[in-house]
Amino acid sequence: MEKIKALFSEPGPYEHDFNEMLSCELVEKDELWLHIEDVRGMSLSEKRGYLLQGLYSLAKLLQEEPKLANVKKISGMSWIVSKNPKLVQSFGFSVADNLDGLEKQKAEYDERKSDRVVHQNQEPGYAYIEREKFIELYGASKSQKPLLKSVF
């Protein structure tokens, strides 16, 4: 946890890698973007474990880090959202019907995906969850409870 707190004490953009699969980036005072790395070599159970561990760690950080006090929304834009909306929703996220008003996020997504070979032609979807709901699902009291039994 000290490593995380040290990261957020530095000026400038805030980013954190929770593990080899999940990272986050504070892009606005009130919005935190999630990033999922290409983990095709992992089994579904490994992916589930890394994702849940990262989400629990993020919930703890949201509850303890004063510099994240203004974060109201956790979001992400990815081909994963458009291809698997029910999976994304099973993690508690809402999926936007379209990308209207999300030009900044779409431009960022396009810039990032230019580095990747996979899913170049898949249009992204946008998923989001409000801070309170996220903490309710992944906060300290939930970190030992298994989620998504029927998904994986």
- Residue 117 has a pLDDT of 55
Using CA atoms, how far apart are residues 52 and 40, in angstroms rounded to an integer? 17
- Residue 147 has a pLDDT of 52
Two tokens, residue 121: 């032609």
pLDDT beneath 70: ranges in the chain = 1-14, 112-120, 141-152
Tell me the backbone φ, ψ of residue 123, rounded to 5 degrees: -70, 145
Segments making up each domain of the chain, as ranges: 2-142
Two tokens, residue 94: 């809402």
CATH of domain 2-142: 3.40.630
Residue type, position 83, single letter:
K
The string of pLDDT tens digits covering residues 64-95 is: 988 889 999 999 988 889 899 999 999 999 99
Tell me the backbone φ, ψ of residue 34, rounded to 5 degrees: -95, 145
What does pTM read for this prediction?
0.78
